[in-house]
Amino acid sequence: MYPQQHYNRNIFQHLYETSGSQAVHYARRYETQLYQAKAMKNKIWFISECLKNKVCPKTYGRMEKRPWSGEAFSSFQEGYIKDQLQELKEKKEAAFAGVRRIQNTLQKTIRGEWYNQVGGQVNCRVNFDINRNMVNIKNKFERLFTNSVWIKFSSMDNIKNISSTLLTRDETAAPGLGLNFCVGTTNNINTEFNSKINYLNVEQHNDLAPFLRGVMIGSNENNLGDILPVRFSTALKRLKSYKDIRIMKADKGGSIVIMNSSEYREKMYRLLDDETTYAKIENPPTVQKLQNTFNQNVKKIISKLCNGKDTLCNKLFSSKLPELACIYGSPKIHKDGCPLRPIVSSMKSPTKNLAVWLARELGIYLGKFSESHVKHSVDFIEKVKNKNIKGHMVLYCCSAFSIAIA
């Protein structure tokens, strides 16, 4: 594509009259070669953005004559684009070298002020067309990235932004991959499997879907530092820099909630101020004291049960380098006002090893002592769907107002 030549004809007419047709010919050549060189520079920007953001232009994607392996950005496409980019850079250098040669020739042909006027006129028009071309190229890249696998795999509908901060499309799409998104180690998974992810039970597998997306998008040719598009990496860094918002997983449904930090703190303090549930300790014990007390009690119990011979259990249940249990809130977006569900995390507390062992040993007996045990909502439906509810019977549904899970 060449620029439209809408110049002041009086200048070129005077150039023809004073310097002849050869000067006009060199001026037109200078215009054409300058436009081609700058247009090539715009194309290099487009290809570089595609390479950094892990998307392949449609014209380059058709070059691959083999079935798609399921990667978002295959190693073949990456290598091919790098080769094309290097070739374009060499052509750009040659094009600008040609521009400088014709510029020198034009300067020798046209003397004095006319050279400056003609050169300025040509540069002004070429820059106008190049800027317009750059706008079209940026719009083209936006369309390409919008239709890429990265945006299609991102569950942006699951991002619930209830904060006062307006997020960009990239800031919404990046966490839309899932808080547990990770890089896979294989590149031979068909993308049709992604459609199966939507049918997973979000109540039970809300942590599994982001992992599966990571496996599908991941490539063993890439490392953790460059697997994500630059736009997503930049968006995640911006989200991390926002101190006035908090990003959390919803209590149910597998959604990701973005809430104002001030609102989160206010709701957490409101929960902790409930004296019927929590009590403030005036002189709280140190972590070291809690560790020593717990280890001593474990040692006494094991010594009493095993006559002081079972040192293996003592080492298994003893606490080492513990931390205080912490409380955090999980937002209930399915309820009015988005209340928080308080959760006490004891992952690094002194009782963690003992709690893991008890959960493993007692968990196998769940549902075997009582027929009233319900695993989840699906299990409840299966148990009551064939029940004959008589007229004098009433079905009650109870909901806990506040519960702390350790």
- Lowest-confidence segment of 11-20, 43-52, 73-82, 253-262 by average pLDDT: 11-20
User: Which residue did the predictor score with more confidence, 204 or 383?
Assistant: 383
Which of 320-324, 330-334, 365-369 has maximum average pLDDT?
A: 330-334
Q: What is the mean pLDDT of residues 68-85?
A: 76
Instruction: Name the band, by pLDDT with cuts 50, 70 and 90, for residue 22.
Output: confident
Looking at residue 210, its pLDDT comes to 57
Number of neighbouring beta carbons within 10 Å of residue 202 = 16
- C-alpha triplet 315, 319, 322: angle, nearest 5°: 155
Q: What is the pTM of this model?
A: 0.70
d(CA 209, CA 254): 9
DSSP secondary structure letter of residue 243: T
Looking at residue 212, its pLDDT comes to 54
Looking at residue 139, its pLDDT comes to 95
Looking at residue 199, its pLDDT comes to 47
Looking at residue 2, its pLDDT comes to 43
Q: Is the pLDDT of residue 49 over 90?
A: yes
Contacts of 217 (CB under 8 A, 6+ apart): 71, 72, 149, 150, 153, 177, 183, 184, 227
d(CA 136, CA 339): 46
Distances (CA, A) of 360 to 78, 224, 235, 363, 365: 47, 34, 40, 5, 10
Q: Is the pLDDT of residue 21 over 70?
A: yes
Distances (CA, A) of 163 to 160, 246, 257, 363: 9, 9, 9, 39
d(CA 93, CA 172): 39
- Lowest-confidence segment of 218-227, 245-254, 312-321 by average pLDDT: 218-227
Contacts of 64 (CB under 8 A, 6+ apart): 74, 76, 77, 80
Dump pLDDT digits (tens) for 132-142. Answer: 999 999 999 99
Q: Is the pLDDT of residue 150 over 80?
A: yes
DSSP secondary structure letter of residue 165: P
d(CA 392, CA 107): 104
Please say whether the beta carbons of 121 and 7 come within 8 A.
yes
Q: Is the pLDDT of residue 47 over 60?
A: yes
Dump pLDDT digits (tens) for 355-406. Answer: 888 888 888 887 777 777 787 778 888 888 887 777 777 777 776 665 544 4
Sign, Cα dihedral of 91, 94, 96, 98: negative
Instruction: Name the band, by pLDDT with cuts 50, 70 and 90, for residue 36.
Output: very high
SS3 content of the chain, % helix, strand, coil (to 5): 55, 5, 40
Q: Is the pLDDT of residue 143 over 60?
A: yes
Looking at residue 268, its pLDDT comes to 93
The mean of the pLDDT values for the chain is 78
Looking at residue 93, its pLDDT comes to 93
Looking at residue 169, its pLDDT comes to 92
